[in-house]
Amino acid sequence: MGRFLQLRGATGLEHEPENSGRRVDWRATFPDGVVHVEAFVPVFNAASGEARMRQDRLLDVLEPLIPAGWWVIPLHLPTLPGDSSIRPFRTVAQELLSQLPPAATVDRGAVVELAGRLPEGRVELAASRATGHGGLGGGPMITYWDNSELVLRRARRNERKRKQGRSAPPPALLAIAGSFLGADVEDFEVSLFGRDVRHGRKPDGAMATDRNPPWAGVLAFPRVSPAGAADPVLFLAPAYSGPSLPFALKRLEVRRLTSNGVSVTAAHDHDVLEGVRWAAP
């Protein structure tokens, strides 16, 4: 967040500046004003993330066991507790993959299905002939209920964050990070303004119903990962009536709630996070 404010042209930047109440994360001074920003990283879809980490353990075991010339796709893997031994799975995987004939003897396009079982659940693999060395062709599908909208509503109504917002001189922004597999811009809009607001439904989002907002708006960072992030979008609080935000922030894509629905002002600047030192893909 600090680097983003620098890239937007902040001439002065203070982390956790002194004030009379709870400290926010940043005070950024721009040529045309000062803005306070509190950064928040909620957890989205925690159950799916935990399931993915558990299955990654199995994929790490499976991949080096795959014979040359084969692509193997796990159709189903058991959910092993994080502290359980990986050896029984290794044994089953070795037994299943040993059933594969030499790849050159199998017609292209043919699929060989392999099935086994552990006490924790079944192991199902699909193998097909590869044009090269082959390897792991993907991972099993993880199904889950996407809780992005609910998490964002709670983030906006977080009482501790609201106290921080009220302790800072306006304008203040709440910056919320959406994870790589979590909230996108549409999730932010639905949670903040309301569902189907664009189609005439009465706004019922967390920001739309807030008559005394502590924040001038929400700075939404969708699809954040260690390797990059999409450009942020500024959602303005309908009931905010304090000082204006610095022009550098209003050059982002801006979404506001009007009597006719959601108004979108296109971004004047793009690739605004290009200067962040992201991890190499």
Domain that holds residue 118: 47-136
Peptide bond into 171 cis (omega under 30): yes
Residue 271 resides in a domain:
no
Report how far residue 202's alpha carbon sits from residue 23's, in angstroms, rounded to the nearest whole number.
35
pTM passes above 0.85: no
Based on the fold, state whether residues 194 and 132 are members of the same structural domain. Answer: no
Digitized pLDDT (tens) for each residue of the chain, 281 residues in all: 999 999 999 999 998 887 666 788 999 999 999 999 998 877 554 444 555 556 777 888 888 898 888 888 888 888 776 667 888 889 999 999 999 988 888 887 788 899 998 888 888 888 888 776 777 765 554 444 444 555 565 666 677 777 888 888 999 999 988 765 556 788 888 888 988 888 888 888 888 888 889 999 999 998 777 778 889 999 999 999 999 999 999 999 999 999 888 999 999 999 999 888 887 76
Residue 213 resides in a domain:
yes
Report how far residue 251's alpha carbon sits from residue 156's, in angstroms, rounded to the nearest whole number.
23
Report how far residue 26's alpha carbon sits from residue 141's, in angstroms, rounded to the nearest whole number.
40
Residue 221 resides in a domain:
yes
Q: Hey, what amino acid is at 78?
A: P
Q: How crowded is the C-beta side of 265, counted as CA atoms within 13 Å? A: 14
Report how far residue 146's alpha carbon sits from residue 186's, in angstroms, rounded to the nearest whole number.
13
Based on the fold, state whether residues 163 and 254 are members of the same structural domain. Answer: yes
Based on the fold, state whether residues 186 and 232 are members of the same structural domain. Answer: yes
Residue 169 resides in a domain:
yes
Query: What is the 8-class DSSP label of residue 191?
Result: H
Please, are residues 152 and 179 in contact by the beta-carbon 8 Å criterion? no
Residue 270 resides in a domain:
no
Residue 78 resides in a domain:
yes
Please list the residues that pair with 78 across neighbouring strands. Answer: none
Q: Hey, what amino acid is at 126?
A: A
Number of domains into which the chain is organized: 2
Based on the fold, state whether residues 117 and 225 are members of the same structural domain. Answer: no
